């Protein structure tokens, strides 16, 4: 299939790309532009780990063709922090322990950001509805809901159950939270080696 030249704006930077007509946006972002913060998991629209913003609306980038994004503005997790300052949603995810393995986190944050742009003061139920298409296999979602409520400036309703282990000091941020909320945490699927081949 002959490749097509496209221009695409990603995180306010213009890129010229040569892509196959059926190349997905997630593959163009990750493999052509090296923006591996956007995660590719199911590759069929089921998990939203690949969520990005297209002209301000959240989309699953495995379901969008790169050629469809040509001439439009794409925002990925790498574009949220500005001048070394985390976006408030990223900050809230870090402070509320909302990332464990972190693989769903970039997509979850992009979805949360779009949700709060449309509904700045959601109820917890609206938050749960807003992220219902984003799969997380680690957290049980409670901390993610806490983080989104915190990012909206609202106190959380949920109380932590009493714990026999909560005996000293205070909770400290995870040491890897910054990498996970910015999409910089490295996973095996993000690694690129010279001459590497893929099996799927
Ligand atoms: S990788 Fe796109 S929805 Fe799962
Ligand atoms: S933190 Fe591991 S899948 Fe969500």
Question: Is the same domain home to 17 and 59?
Answer: yes
Q: Are residues 75 and 117 in the same domain?
A: no
- Find how far residue 32's CA is from the centre of its chain: 18
Contacting residues for 26 by C-beta, under 8 A, at least 6 apart: 38, 40, 43, 50, 52, 61, 62, 64
**CATH code for position 142:** 1.10.150.120
Total residues belonging to the chain: 200
- Whether 75 is in a domain gets the answer yes
Is residue 139 included in any domain, yes or no? yes
Is residue 189, in this structure, part of any structural domain at all?
Answer: no
The answer to whether residue 197 is domain-embedded is: no
Any bridge partners for residue 53, and if so which?
Answer: 58, 75
Nearest residue by C-alpha to atom 3 in ligand 1: 45
Query: What is the DSSP code string of 74-122?
Result: EE-GGGT-BTTB--HHHHHHHHTT--SS-SSHHHHHHHHHHHHHH-SS-
Residue 194 within any structural domain of the chain? no
My answer on whether 15 and 67 are in the same domain is: yes
Are 156 and 109 contained in the same domain?
yes
Kindly state if the Cβ of 139 falls inside 6 Å of ligand 2.
Answer: yes
Residue 53's pLDDT is 98
pLDDT for res 113: 98
| Ligand 1 centroid to residue 155 C-alpha, Å | 31
Q: Is 198 domain-assigned?
A: no
Q: Find the helix or strand (DSSP H, E) in which 8 lies.
A: strand 4-10
Q: How many Å lie between the centroid of ligand 1 and the Cα of residue 60?
A: 6
Per-residue pLDDT in tens (0 to 9) along the chain, 200 residues: 799 999 999 999 999 999 999 999 999 999 999 999 999 999 999 999 999 999 999 999 999 999 999 999 999 999 999 998 999 999 999 999 999 999 999 999 999 999 999 999 999 999 999 999 999 999 999 999 999 999 999 987 777 777 777 667 777 778 999 999 999 999 998 988 888 887 76
Residue 190 lies in a domain: no
Q: Closest ligand 1 atom to the C-alpha of 40?
A: 1
Q: Domain for residue 185, yes or no?
A: no
Shared-domain flag, residues 31 and 74: yes
Residue bearing tokens 């469809």: 68
Q: Spell out a b/e string for 180-194, using b for 16 or more CB atoms within 10 Å of the CB, else e.
A: bbbbbbeeeeeeeee
- Domain span holding position 123: 88-160+171-179
Cβ of 134 closer than 6 Å to ligand 2, yes or no, is no
Give the whole-angstrom CA distance, residue 100 versus residue 72. Answer: 32
Q: Are residues 69 and 139 in the same domain?
A: no
What is the CA(139)–ligand 2 centre distance, in A?
6
Q: What is the 3-state secondary structure (H, E, C) of 44-86?
A: CCCCCCCEEEECCEEEECCCCEHHHHCCCEEECHHHCCECCEC
> Number of folded domains in the chain?
2
């Amino acid at each position: 299939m002959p490749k097509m030249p496209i221009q695409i704006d990603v995180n306010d930077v213009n890129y010229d790309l040569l892509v196959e007509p059926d190349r997905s946006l997630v593959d163009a972002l990750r493999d052509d532009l090296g923006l591996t913060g956007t995660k590719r998991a199911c590759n069929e629209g089921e998990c939203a780990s690949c969520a990005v913003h297209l002209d301000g609306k959240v989309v699953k980038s495995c379901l969008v063709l790169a050629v469809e994004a040509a001439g439009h503005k794409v925002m990925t997790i790498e574009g949220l922090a500005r001048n070394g300052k985390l976006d408030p949603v990223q900050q809230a995810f870090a402070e509320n322990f909302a990332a464990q393995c972190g693989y769903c986190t970039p997509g979850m944050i992009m979805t949360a950001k779009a949700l709060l742009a449309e509904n700045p003061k959601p109820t917890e139920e609206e938050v749960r509805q807003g992220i219902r298409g984003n799969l997380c296999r680690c957290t049980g979602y409670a901390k993610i809901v806490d983080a989104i409520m915190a990012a909206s400036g609202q106190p959380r309703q949920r109380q932590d159950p009493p714990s026999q282990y909560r005996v000293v000091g205070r909770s400290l941020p995870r040491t890897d939270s910054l990498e996970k909320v910015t999409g910089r945490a490295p996973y095996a699927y993000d690694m690129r080696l010279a001459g590497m081949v893929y099996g799927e």
